[in-house]
Amino acid sequence: MSTKTPRLISRRGVLARVAATVALAAGLAACSSPASAPAPGAAPAAGEPIVMGFSQVGAESGWRTANTKSIQDSAAAAGVELKFSDAQQKQENQIKAIRSFIQQKVDVIAFSPVVETGWDAVLLEAKRANIPVILTDRAVDSEDTTLYKTFLGSDFVAEGKKAGDWLVQNAPAGPVAVVELQGTTGAAPAIDRKEGFAEAIAANPNISVVASQTGDFTRSGGKQVMEAFLKSQPTINVVYAHNDDMALGAIEAIEAAGKVPGKDITIISVDAVKDGMTALSEGKINFIVECNPLLGPQLMDLAQKVVAGEPVPQRVVTEETTFTQEQAAEVLASRQY
CA distance 204 to 201: 6
Per-residue contact string for residues 259-278; x = within reach of ligand AHR by CB under 6 A? -----------xx-------
Span 293-332, contacts to ligand AHR by CB under 6 A = none
C-alpha neighbours within 13 Å on the C-beta side of residue 291? 32
Which ranges of 257-324 would DSSP assign to H, the alpha helix?
274-281, 296-307
**Which residue of 4, 127, 128, 138 would you call a contact of ligand AHR, by CB under 6 A?**
138
Q: Write down the least CB distance from residue 82 to ligand AHR, Å.
A: 19
Considering only residues 45 to 74 of the shown chain, the ones binding ligand AHR according to CB under 6 A are 60-61, 63-64
Burial 260-269 (b: 16+ CB within 10 A, else e): ebbeebbbbb
Residue 291 binds ligand AHR, judged by CB under 6 A: yes
Shortest Cβ distance from residue 123 to ligand AHR (Å)? 19
Q: Is 162 in the site for ligand AHR (CB under 6 A)?
A: no
Site for ligand AHR in 197-236 (CB under 6 A): 217
Assess 189 for contact with ligand AHR (CB under 6 A): yes
Compute the least distance from the CB of residue 64 to ligand AHR, in Å: 5
- In three-state secondary structure terms, 198 is helix
Q: How far apart are CA 214 and CA 275, in angstroms?
A: 21
241 near ligand AHR, judged by CB under 6 A: no
The answer to whether residue 164 forms part of the interface with ligand AHR (CB under 6 A) is no
What kind and span of H or E run contains 195? helix 188-201
- Total residues in contact with ligand AHR, by rule CB under 6 A: 13
C-alpha 60/C-alpha 12 separation (Å) is 32
Is the CB of 127 or the CB of 242 nearer to ligand AHR?
242
Shortest distance in whole angstroms from residue 61 CB to ligand AHR: 4
Q: Is 137 in the site for ligand AHR (CB under 6 A)?
A: yes
How far apart (Å, rounded) are the C-alpha atoms in residues 278 and 51? 38
Cβ pair 140, 94 in contact under 8 A: no
Of residues 261, 266, 238, the one with CA closest to residue 251: 261
Binders of ligand AHR in range 71-100 (CB under 6 A):
none
Which CB, 107 or 180, lies closer to ligand AHR? Answer: 180
* 203 vs 199: CA distance, rounded Å: 8
- One of 55, 94, 142, 243 touching ligand AHR (CB under 6 A): 243
Q: Is position 152 an interface residue for ligand AHR (rule: CB under 6 A)?
A: no
Task: State whether residue 90 is helix, strand or coil.
Answer: coil
Give the HSE-up count for residue 290: Cα atoms under 13 Å, Cβ half-sphere: 16
Positions touching ligand AHR (CB under 6 A) are: 60-61, 63-64, 137-138, 189, 217, 243, 245, 270-271, 291
